[in-house]
Amino acid sequence: MTAMAKIEEVRDSKWFSNLTTIIIIGYACILGFKTLDEVETNYSLFLKFADYFVTIYFVFELAIKMVAEKNIKNFFKSGWNIFDFVIVVITLLPLESSSFAAIARLMRVFRILRLFTSRPELKAIIDMLIKAIPSIIDIVILMFIIFYIYAIIGSFFFVDLPSGLWKDFLISMLTLFRVLTFEDWTDVMYEAMEVYPWAWVYFVSFVIIAAFVFFNLFIAVIIGEMQKLQEAEMKEEIHEDSLKLDTLLEEIKLLREEVKELKSKDK
C-alpha cells in the first residue's frame, strides 16, 4: 500500500472521525470550564496546553484531508472543507496580543462547530435542513401573513386594554408571538374577554392555525426531506450492489471462458 493510499485510508476511517469528535467534545467542555474563575486561575497551564493541543490536532487533521486529495483544488470544491479551512485559519491568526483579543477568544468557540464536519451523520442532517430551507421560507411567509392579519385585527379591537399589549401593530405582533409560545397566553385572552366576551374565538383560532397547523407543516417538511435523504442513500446502496454484482458476473464469465479453453486444450 502506497503512502497516499494510507493517508486516504486514515481520512476515511471511522476511528479518525471518532477521535476528532472526542477531541471537539472535550474542547467544548474545556471552554465551558474556562468561564469559571476558579478553574481559570488554578488550571491555567492545563487549559493553555489543551488549547495548543487542539490547535495542532486541527492543523494536522486539515493537512491529512488536503494531502489525501490527488488535486488540492478538489479539497476546496466541498463547502464543508472550506468551512473547516476557514475556522482553522481564523483560530491560527495571532490576535491574542492585539486589540482583537476578545474576538480571538470568541473565534475559539466556533471550533465546536467542526463537530458537524467530523460526523457524516451530522453533515447529512445539516444538508437535509439546508435543502428544506426553500419550503420553510414559504411556510414562514404564509405564517407572517397570518400574523399580519391577526395583528391588525387585534390592534383594532383590543387597543384600549389597560395592559397596552395591543397599542400598535408592532406590539400586537410581539403579543401574538407570546401567544404562539404559550407564555401565559390565557392571561392575554382573559383580559380581552373581560371587555369582549367573544375574544376567545380570536385567540383559539390563532393558536390552532399558527401553533398547531404551522408547527406540523414544519415537521412535515423536515420529515419529507429526511425521507428523500434515506431514499437517496438506499438508491446509492442499490447502485453499489448492482456494480458489485456486475463485476462478479463478469468474473464468472471470464472463469467459464478459461475453463472452456482449458478443456479444449486437454482434448
Phi-psi region of 182 (alpha: psi -120 to 50; beta: other; left: phi over 0): left
User: Domain for residue 237, yes or no?
Assistant: no
Number of domains in the chain: 2
pLDDT at 68: 78
User: Domain for residue 253, yes or no?
Assistant: no
Same domain, 13 and 59: yes
pLDDT digits (tens, 9 = 90+) for 54-67: 888 888 888 888 88
Same domain, 97 and 161: no
pLDDT band at 253 (very low <50, low <70, confident <90, very high): confident
User: Domain for residue 236, yes or no?
Assistant: no
pLDDT at 201: 92
pLDDT digits (tens, 9 = 90+) for 55-98: 888 888 888 888 877 777 777 877 777 877 877 777 777 665 55
Q: What is the mean pLDDT of the segment spanning 154-170?
A: 87
Q: Which domain holds residue 171?
A: 138-222
pLDDT band at 38 (very low <50, low <70, confident <90, very high): low
The CATH number that applies at residue 199 is: 1.10.287.70
Give whole-number Cα distances, 252 to 244, 247, 249, in Å.
12, 9, 5
Q: What is the mean pLDDT of the segment spanning 237-248?
A: 78
Contact 40, 48 (CB under 8 A): no
Taking the C-alpha atoms of residue 177 and residue 233, their distance in angstroms, rounded to an integer, is 39
Same domain, 106 and 23: yes
- Averaged confidence pLDDT in the chain: 79
User: Domain for residue 124, yes or no?
Assistant: no
Same domain, 150 and 100: no
